[in-house]
Structures are given as structure tokens and as C-alpha cells.
Amino acid sequence: MTIPHPPTLARLLVGHARDRAGCRAISAPAGSQTYAEFAGDVARIADRLRAAGLRRGDRMAVLAHNDLAYVQLVYAASWTGIALVGLNWRLTADELRAVLEDCNPYLLFAERELASGLDPRCPVVLLDGPEGSDFEHWYAAGDSGYAPDIDQTDESLVLLAYTTGTTGEPKGIQLVERNLREMAQQAAAAWALHPEMRYMTCLPLFRMSGMSSMMCCVHLGGEVVIPSGTSVAEIAGAVEDRGVTHTSVVPTLLASMVAENAAEAFDLSSLEVIIYGSAPSGSSLIEEAMEMLPQTGFSQGYGLTETCAGVVAAPILRRGEVDQHPGSVGRILPNCECRIVDVSTGRDLGAGEDGEIWLRTPQLTTGYWNKPAETAAAISADGWFRTGDIGMIDNDGFLYVHDRLKDMIILGGENVYSVEVENAIGAHPAVLEAAVVGVPHPHWGETVKAVVVLRRGQELDETELLGWLEGRLARYKRPRIVEFVGDLPKAGSGEILKRELRNGKG
């Protein structure tokens, strides 16, 4: 079979099934598959999706932990032109319903417990059950000879990746074949990926950080390794068992591995590269991790869901090598342009000057699902994406990210938007106004702090407020610190001075 160039994800998989048929594609809790087996099951799933009435442009949602079925469904999306919506299982039922109402999927694939009480208003295929997977029975009747949709193009939608957004409303980020292919090609060069790698995907697939690591591996024909859980023992055990060469982690996991000295209990010598995020290069944590894993290279990057993960990468460093640009997230990748723009005047700034980070790249989303106004506000007519992040580029071309205009809080790799939390707190009848900020946390990187002003004559304590937020916000979004004050610090314009709140001036 001749694979058109450039190939879609599905056509690329067909090529691997031909050229790397016996090579292991996936090792997961539910089982392992070679590329021939993987492609055969994806074809059956695609055939069943068509038989169920789904057509190109429709949506299907997945509410599940990382496992074999999730990866199969991603490639079935490309195979058929049906966009996959990965749902964040950490959200409350109300938050999940808001996403489902926005994307209106025709089918939901879900784990039984996660879907309990959800009432998705569309047919559900369970990925687990007391007698095994309903999913396997569902697609068993499919045709393994079913070929990928030949009409798929670079602009065919594959993923709808949801973020809550600064308004507190769900916002679907559209990622097409071109975005995903460019991301994988750039990542391969930046982080020394190769066809014989075994890449452990321990970040959730509903996040672009997890999805990108899995796709980068399949793109080159490597083995995707999905651990059975997220504990140090489960992660390190998977490295030892499968000889994992590459992985992406959040600082909390890395800190736990260092604290438990995982290299003493497990053989981690196969690790070639660890990509970390949300921790500054040159930090004590990275130095300690390098001491524990002297053979392993460490790197980080910068990107957003809108840019299909990383568009900036730091040099890979090992123990004893000097970081020439500490605090930097790295250099702009070859397929990306970056500008630092003065927020008030719109003019380009020079080296060393702080401004908003603007990006232009083939990896950039085509826009937000059914939100043309938000798309136009974020992406200029000539393709520049306004990230909302503040940073600067030094004379050597290294990018430093200093602040976030959008007041996004990064908690253990999860994004928390302050406006969403503020809206939930403000809905309490005793609350006059609230401001939410991220403050440093030794384990999570940041934690959520709420500064609350009560209405005159009202009483409310921290326990009561947190009880009110149960069911309204996912657990990780709820404040860990609540401070009640008489007034919030404000500028003359009435804008709340969140910088003062971060510094403890309530």
C-alpha cells in the first residue's frame, strides 16, 4: 500500500503495520500489541464507528484513564475523520456536562465508575465491566480490512482538547492532522527520539502533555508504555520492566522519585531522556534528579494546548554539565516564530525586555470550537497567537517565562484558572467578592489561595466555604489557603492587585 505524503496519523500507522509489523507498539495495563495488531484493532473500531452512524466531522468523547483502548480510539479518530474529545476525569459531573453540551458528542466511551451519574445524553460504550470490556465486544464485529478515510487532509480535525478558559466556560481547542504531525516531528529532533525508543506516557491523555508524548512515540514507530498507576513504585517498575528510554513528568513525580531514591530499588539505567515541565532549569530538584540518574539527560520545554504542546525546548543536560541559561525554558523550535510584544502599545520589544509572548507556528490550533470571537481575540489575522504569558528572550535566543496575564495557576501539572474559582466562591450568598491567586508550594509548584471579602453582617469560615465548593469545582481546583479580609487591594481603575495578594498583602 502506498502511503500518501504527508500522511495522516492513521496512514502512518498503516505504514508501521507494514514495516514494523512484529514490533511492540503498546504495553499497557489492559495488554500489549504489536503494530500489526494495533492497526488491525484500530481498523475494526473505525469500521464500527461508521456502522454506528458517525461520519467525518462528528465527535466522540472518552472518559477514561490511560490504557490501550484510549490509544486505539485516538487513531480511530484519524482513521475516520471523527474528532476525539478527551474528558478530564478529575472534573465534577456538572463540569463534565458543560463540556459535553459544548461539543455534543455522538458517542461516549467511558469507564463505568467515571460515567456513573453523568447522564451524557448520548449512547455510552463502557470500557470496563464485571465480565471484561464491553468495548472489545463492541468492535469485535468490525472489519479489520477497513482502510483509512482517503479524503482526510492536513486540516482534518482529530482532537478537541478542552480547557476551562479564563471565563470559566469550557473552550474546545481544535487540533488538526497538520498540528499533530508538526508537533511530533519537532519533538523528535528536540528530545532525541528514535524508532527503538520505549516512551512511558504517565501524564493523562486528556492533557496535551500526555497525548503528545504518546503520539511522538507512535509517529516514529516506538513502543508506548503506559504504567499501571502513578505511584513511584508503579512508574519505576514500568521503567525497569520495559526498559523505558524516554518519559515526560511533572515536578511532583520527579520530587517523589528523588525523595524515595527510586534508583536504589529499581533499575532505571535504561532512561535516556526525561522531559519535565513547570520547574525551572537549574533548580535543586533537577540537580538532585541528575545525581540520582547520572546517565539520563534532562530537558524541559514550553508550549500550550493551543500550540499542540512544545514549541520551545531546552538543551538536554546531564550531571556535571553546566546550564548556560538557568531559568530559561529553552530556544524556539525551527518551525516556530516568537515575538515579545508590549501589551499596551503592541510594539515588538528587544532582547531582555519583558512583554507578552506571541507565537506563530504550523502547530497552532485552527481555533476554538464554535467560538469565533474568542478565536479572533487570541489569533491575529496573520496567524500570531497571543499566549497571555509574560516573558523575554535573551541575546542568545533563549526564552524566559516570568508571569501569566491570564492568572493561570499550575498545580502539579494541572491548569487552574483563577476566574473559574472566583466565580464559584462568589456564588456563595455570604461572599461579596473574591480573588484567587497561585502561591508557591514546595511539592506542587503552586497551590490555590483565595482571598475573600464577606457581605456586611455575614459569617463564613474556611470549612463552610470549602464544603460549599464540593460538587462545584474539581478537588484540585479548590483553595488550599483561604484568607478573609475586609477589602481587596485595588488600583485606581478598580482592578484587583493580585501581585500584592501573592506577596501576602491581603
- Tens of pLDDT, residue by residue over 322-333, are 999 988 999 999
SS3 (DSSP) at 435: strand
Q: In this model, does residue 165 exceed pLDDT 60?
A: no
Q: In this model, does residue 164 exceed pLDDT 60?
A: yes
**pLDDT: which is higher, 505 or 88:** 88
Predicted confidence (pLDDT) per residue in 411-456, tens digit: 877 878 787 888 889 889 899 889 999 988 888 888 999 999 998 8
Q: What is the pLDDT of residue 405?
A: 66
Q: What is the pLDDT of residue 335?
A: 87
CA distance 428 to 432: 9
pTM for the full predicted model: 0.86
CA distance 323 to 318: 10
Q: Residue 157: what are its φ and ψ, rounded to 5°? A: -75, 130
Residue 128 host element (H or E) = none
Mean pLDDT value across the chain: 91
130 confidence band (pLDDT: 50, 70, 90): low
The residues spanned by each domain of the chain are 408-502
Q: Please list the alpha-helical segments (H only) found in 106-261.
A: 112-115, 134-140, 177-190, 208-220, 232-242, 251-259
Q: Which amino acid belongs to residue 166?
A: T
Q: In this model, does residue 1 exceed pLDDT 80?
A: no
- CB-CB contact of 478 with 463 (8 Å): no
Q: Residue 138: what are its φ and ψ, rounded to 5°? A: -60, -45
β-strand 171-176 against 157-163: which pairing, if any?
Answer: antiparallel
Q: In this model, does residue 494 exceed pLDDT 60?
A: no
Q: What is the pLDDT of residue 4?
A: 46
Q: In this model, does residue 127 exceed pLDDT 90?
A: yes
Q: Which CATH number fits domain 408-502: 3.30.200.20, 3.40.720.10, 3.40.50.620, 3.30.300.30?
A: 3.30.300.30
Q: What is the mean pLDDT of residues 221-240?
A: 97
Predicted confidence (pLDDT) per residue in 55-107, tens digit: 999 999 999 999 999 999 999 999 999 999 999 998 889 889 999 999 999 99
Q: What is the pLDDT of residue 168?
A: 63
